[in-house]
Copies of this chain bind each other. A is one copy, B any other.
Amino acid sequence: MTTVYRLDQIKEIIKKIDISKQLEEGFVLYTNKKVIVPPVGEMIFEDPPGDTHIKYGFIEKDDYFVVKIASGFYENHKIGLPSSTGVMLLFSQKSGELISILIDEGYLTDIRTAIAGGIVAKYLSPKKISFIGVLGTGVQARLQVEYLKGVTDCKNIVVYGRTEKKLKEYKKEMESKGYIVEITSDTSVVTSKCNMIITATPSSKALINFNQLLPGTHITAMGSDTPQKQELNTDILEKADIVVTDSKEQSLSRGEIYRAIKDGKMSKEKIVELGEVILNPSIGRTSDTQLTVADLTGVAVQDIQITKAIYKELQKIIEKNN
């Protein structure tokens, strides 16, 4: 019988397990072309404005396939609801049966995105992280830092934001989690102190450029996921020693890499896929003076892998209780 799990159960499980291994496997399978991802389904609504995306796919010869239905309704705050929501459905690839429904309300998308940042940092960040720099004050500006926990013991954050209110909220929440947080409305304060920088804004123009960076900095740029959005001046990708993406295909049409190629600042031959780095870490960072950039736009195999992993953990609990 189809099992149904709700957000509170999913959050409980996420606290207890590390699924970065399953996500790493997913990135490798993706790079090895073992993941089938059909075109995304889309519905656009006008009144109120909203959009729904249906993302689905499977790993060849796996036991499962996954369908994710996620929506963004950006006026939901008017009715006291979060703007984003979603659900993950896990099916059998052997019979079509609906095995499990994870009513995660979009939470697992946030988590798998943050875990990808952690994986990138593991392969690309400098050995010693002085300060963690963060551009942005939203969900990913928090989760991306938390998911560095396996990579660094650094608890010092310098966070950039445009509104003082949000910066203060960020500081309060992150300090309650044991971080030491400096807030700023000037990106050069971030870049002058931090050699590990996460950009997690919806900006449509560059927020930082090459000249302001410390030598040996790693940047994970995860805010830009459309052709319009941009967080990094293209000179950063031009000068970077290594430019990594989760999906070469996607990075040719959106995000930082798309912009840099469009501006003639880098060739697509420079792009390295995350799965390639995981398979062969020596093509990742090899010295503490290299400038590295990872541009993440999110791939369906992350949804497939996190859904499977959470389902399996929840099943273990059920079996233990029976």
Q: Which residues of A contact B (CB under 8 A)?
A: 1-2, 4, 6, 36, 38-39, 41-43, 45, 47-48, 50, 52, 54, 56-58, 61, 65, 67, 69, 71-73, 76, 79, 81, 84-85, 87, 89, 91, 93-98, 101, 103
Given the contacts A4-B4, A96-B50, A101-B101, A56 and B85 also touching, CB distance less than 8 Å: no
Offer 13 A-B interface pairs, CB within 8 angstroms, sorted by A: A4-B101, A41-B41, A43-B56, A43-B58, A45-B65, A50-B93, A52-B91, A52-B96, A67-B69, A71-B97, A73-B94, A79-B94, A79-B95
Q: Complex formed: what's the CA distance from A95 to B58 in Å?
A: 29
Q: Complex formed: what's the CA distance from A102 to B67 in Å?
A: 16
**The 6 A-B residue pairs with the shortest CB-CB distance in the complex, in nearest-first order:** A71-B96, A73-B96, A41-B41, A4-B4, A73-B95, A87-B98
Q: Complex formed: what's the CA distance from A41 to B42 in Å?
A: 10
Closest Cβ of chain B to A302, distance in Å, is 18
User: B95 near A76 (CB under 8 angstroms)?
Assistant: yes
Q: Contacts of A2 on B, CB cut-off 8 Å? A: 6, 87, 103
Given the contacts A69-B89, A96-B76, A54 and B81 also touching, CB distance less than 8 Å: no
Closest Cβ of chain B to A138, distance in Å, is 18
User: A45 near B76 (CB under 8 angstroms)?
Assistant: no
Residue on B nearest A94 in the bound complex, by CB: B48
Q: Contacts of A48 on B, CB cut-off 8 Å? A: 94-95
Q: Complex formed: what's the CA distance from A121 to B61 in Å?
A: 46
Closest Cβ of chain B to A50, distance in Å, is 5
User: B41 near A54 (CB under 8 angstroms)?
Assistant: yes
Q: Complex formed: what's the CA distance from A79 to B43 in Å?
A: 37
Q: Complex formed: what's the CA distance from A179 to B42 in Å?
A: 46
- Besides A2-B87, A38-B42, 7 more A-B contacts (Cβ < 8 Å) are A39-B41, A41-B41, A50-B95, A52-B91, A54-B56, A71-B97, A73-B95
Q: Complex formed: what's the CA distance from A56 to B50 in Å?
A: 16
User: A85 near B76 (CB under 8 angstroms)?
Assistant: no
Q: Complex formed: what's the CA distance from A203 to B258 in Å?
A: 51
Q: Contacts of A96 on B, CB cut-off 8 Å? A: 50, 52, 71-73, 76, 84-85
Q: Complex formed: what's the CA distance from A52 to B79 in Å?
A: 36
Q: Contacts of A58 on B, CB cut-off 8 Å? A: 43, 45
Q: Contacts of A85 on B, CB cut-off 8 Å? A: 95-98
User: B87 near A89 (CB under 8 angstroms)?
Assistant: yes
Closest Cβ of chain B to A262, distance in Å, is 29
Q: Complex formed: what's the CA distance from A98 to B54 in Å?
A: 13
User: B38 near A43 (CB under 8 angstroms)?
Assistant: yes
Q: Complex formed: what's the CA distance from A87 to B92 in Å?
A: 13
Closest Cβ of chain B to A80, distance in Å, is 10
Closest Cβ of chain B to A169, distance in Å, is 24
Q: Contacts of A42 on B, CB cut-off 8 Å? A: 38
Given the contacts A38-B43, A43-B38, A81 and B97 also touching, CB distance less than 8 Å: yes
Given the contacts A56-B54, A98-B85, A101-B101, A93 and B36 also touching, CB distance less than 8 Å: no
